[in-house]
Structure 1
Amino acid sequence: MPLQPTELSYIINELAEDREHYFNAVAPPIVQTSNFVFKKVADLRKAFEDEMGGYLYSRGLNPTVDILRKKLAALDGAEDCLVFNNGAAAIFAAVLANVKSGDHIISVRNPYTWAQRTFDVILSRFGITTTYVDGRDIKNFEAARQPNTTFIYLESPNSWTFELQPIKQVAALAKQHNIITLIDNSYCTPLYQRPIEMGIDLAMQTATKYIGGHSDTLGGVLSGSHQQMKKIFDREYLNVGSGIQPFNAWLLIRGLRTLPARLQRITNTTREVIQFLKSHPRIDQVIFPLDESFSQYALAKEQMSGACGLITFTIKDGTMESITKFCESLKHFMMAVSWGGHESLILPKCAGIQPADFDANNIQHQYIRLYTGLEEPQYLVNDLQQALNRE
């Protein structure tokens, strides 16, 4: 169930904000300190014994970060949450905390680049193997499971072609065999998809995107049970030193204030952009999970209450030259990676392919990913139109 408006308003504006502790200021302070003072040896000893139980050193807990942690855990419907410097760090810590030498991982195919490098480059050095599956069918997870499978990694939807996994079915399979599950929920955010409620153990999102919303800070969110967060905090979080800094946490708190309004505006603009693209004679295909033409539309409607602003499309004359000309003809869409900020973006798949390796018959080489930001819809449609009309 989506968060109710009153609950969402409370989380964003009030939860964890003990304003009487900081001069009744409306905005929380940035507690920019490296360490914290103790008057009694016993209190310092207690902090040494359990660094997650209080403030000792800002590599671990920090008051500004704690406000953010509590809000993000509540948004996910989770017991607890840790916030990292970026999404890749959150994925790395979650996986590393839950596997050991000789284990086996099941991952969706073509996962986020840094997730795949964790599996293939780092964990493989310790005898941990990974099987990549087409995650659209639960049978593929069942077939890939081995006696030593301890971890399943999901991205639903992914960030290019938006394939979904049947989240409840995967969670049920994993629990039956004591397998830990992690999902990258960056595409939907917890406002539009609730993985913890569907039985997933660990929900991750890249706060760099919609949570921050202004393309001015990085962050990674990992939510789950308090037991899981404590295990990760005591080992991977503290040892690697990948926790977010107070100023960046403060920027993410600021971004949270407008999250529902931004997502609603982006969603409305996306509908208008999709309508234009589908009507233009040069557009061959539009991929969007909540469009009725999407192959998994029924599952998307079941699992997701919204889809925000990421679209993939192809143009009919999908050569590298025509794709390049289209992207470079845009005046207001910026060519860049990521998404979720105030600015609209374009990203051609061929930018990551050497010209000699480009295959015009390979549909994946033709993909153009578009993100709609906070600009006026007609402003964006006009830009797309003038670029598409340049034959």
Structure 2
Amino acid sequence: MDISYIINELGEEREAYFQAVAPPIYQTSNFASATVAEMRHKLLHEEDEYMYTRGNNPTVTLLEKKLAALEGAEHAIAFGSGIAAVAAAILSQVKAGDHVVYTQHPYSWTKSLLRKFLPRFGVEATMVDGTDPENYRRAIRPNTTLLYLESPTSFTFDLQDIPAVTAIARAHGCATIIDNSCASPLHQRPLQLGVDLVVHSCTKYIGGHSDVMGGVICGSREAINKIFKSEYMTLGAILGPHDAWLLLRGLRTLPVRMERVAASTRQVVDYLAQHPKVERVLFPFLPSHPQYALAQKQMRSNSGQFSILLKTKELEQVELFCNSLHRFLMAASWGGHESLIFPVAASYATDQPAPILPLNLVRFYVGLEDPDYLIQDLEQALDKV
């Protein structure tokens, strides 16, 4: 299905709302029924009907149709945040006594869910180095039900060989879930590579303006309807219609934003990769990266995130570099118009255990600014280190 058609036409019913170019926001909590029989039908088929916005809402449905199509999925279900989508997807595949295998260095709240929250309910999880698919195979137990991927990962941008891991999962009767937020649905299509469920933080590239939060799960209609009837309706982590409308607005410009971000990021990375004060750039689309061939194989293009290791082990020097940047905001997340940094050094505190990641690691997101404008800022900050 053509991307331009998905973004601009799929699901748009302009004749139903006065030929408005932008769809309306159906800001209602519930929907009336004309007869008892109609209400009975809605109760029995709530996954396909409009009865209560905690279930379905027309504005949210339009977003879900477009996101499912972008991922090549049969169906999708939207949530109020990325971690809400991750949690619902994982919960749909596990029960007490089950075991999950997941890749190292995932999104921090995914890690917290798997290591701290689910063990309270009898679900165990094992973290492996996901760059080698065999590590997934070696970690599988008789009670393993799920292999969890995040490719690329959030800070180190490690890849997993998606077809290899999904083949291992099928051979052992396990489900697979991947967080595809970093690549976006334009640059990676995991369902085509054998994954069962794809999750996104819509807060990132899909929203694109740093003003809305959301999440989505994409997969088969059977799997999504199962989640709707259980984790979605029971836990209620829904996406509101106004937030869905903002995400629809973001989708309109997703291709042009991703194209700009990809090109600018390559230019910034090329500058940093040759800088004498940068020890290493963690970016799978660098030809020198050990997973460059895999990135070329399973991704269509790069996105805007990468990390660097500064050539210093001194916390003060890392802080000096980060504090000297003026054109990169220091903030979490990514995907908006603005360029960002997230220094691991911010997680280092004298009264807490040191994080696993090194203190000289700084994550970057390149936004929509001119790359030369950003490089000038990097140059003056690096000069101070």
TM-score range normalised by the length of the shorter chain: over 0.9
User: What residue in structure 2 maps to residue 133 of structure 1?
Assistant: 128
Instruction: Show CA shifts across 1:178-219 (max 9, x none).
Output: 211100001101110110000100001111000000000001
Q: Is the 8 A contact 1:104 1:146 kept in 2?
A: yes
2:177 matched to 1:198? no
Which residue of 1 is the match for residue 312 of structure 2?
317
Please name the residue that 1:10 is paired with.
5
Q: Is the CA contact (8 Å cut-off) linking 1:104 and 1:151 kept in structure 2?
A: yes
Contact kept, 8 Å, 1:104 with 1:128, in 2: the verdict is yes
C-alpha distance in structure 2 between counterparts of 1:350 and 1:47, whole Å: 52
8 Å CA contact 1:151, 1:179 repeated in 2: yes
Q: Which of 355, 374, 377 lines up with 1:383 in the alignment?
A: 377
**Structure 2 partner of 1:334:** 329
Aligned counterparts, 1:24-173, within 5 A:
24-173=19-168
Q: CA offsets, 1:30-77, max 9 Å, x none?
A: 000000011111110011112112100001100000000000000000
Quote how far apart the aligned CAs of 1:349 are: 0.6
Distance in structure 2 (CA, Å) of the matches to 1:134 and 1:207:
26
Task: Name the SS of the counterpart of 1:197 in structure 2.
Answer: helix
Cα offset, 1:172, TM superposition:
1.3
2:27 counterpart letter in structure 1: Q
CA distance in 1, matches of 2:215, 2:311: 37
- Quick one: distance in 1 between partners of 2:108 and 2:277? 31
Q: Which moved more, 1:78-87 or 1:168-177?
A: 168-177
Matched, 1:266 2:286: no
Whether 2:270 is the aligned partner of 1:275: answer: yes
Whether the aligned pair in 1 keeps the contact of 2:106 and 2:154 (CA below 8 Å) is no
SS in 2 for 1:346: strand
TM-score w.r.t. structure 2 length?
A: 0.97
Q: For residues 332 and 126 of structure 1, what CA distance do their matches in structure 2 show? A: 45
Matched, 1:292 2:278: no
Task: For residues 148-168 of structure 1, give each alpha carbon's deviation from its aligned partner in whole angstroms, at most 9, with x where no partner exists.
Answer: 111111011101111111100
Q: If the length of structure 1 is used for normalisation, what is the TM-score? A: 0.96
Alpha-carbon separation, structure 1, partners of 2:343 and 2:306: 12
Offset at 1:317? 2.4
1:372 aligned to 2:366?
yes
The structural deviation recorded for 1:357 is 7.0
Cα contact 1:358–1:365 (8 A) shared by 2: no
CA distance in 2, matches of 1:274, 1:383: 14
Do structure 1's residue 21 and structure 2's residue 12 form an aligned pair? Answer: no
Deviations 1:357-383 (A, max 9, x none): 7989x9722101111100111111111
Deviation at residue 308 of structure 1 after TM alignment = 1.0
| Distance in 2 separating the partners of 1:274 and 1:98 | 38
Query: What secondary structure is seen at the aligned counterpart in 2 of 1:48?
Result: helix
Deviations 1:320-367 (A, max 9, x none): 10110011111111000111110000111110111577989x972210
Q: Percent identity?
A: 49
Counterpart contact for 1:187–1:307, Cα < 8 Å: no
1:176 to 171, 176, 180: 171
What is the RMSD computed on CA atoms of the aligned residues?
1.5
Q: Give the Cα separation in 2 of the matches to 1:390 and 1:140.
A: 42
- Structure 1 unmatched ranges of 5 or more: none
Aligned length: 385
Mapped partners of 1:371, 1:211: distance in 2: 15
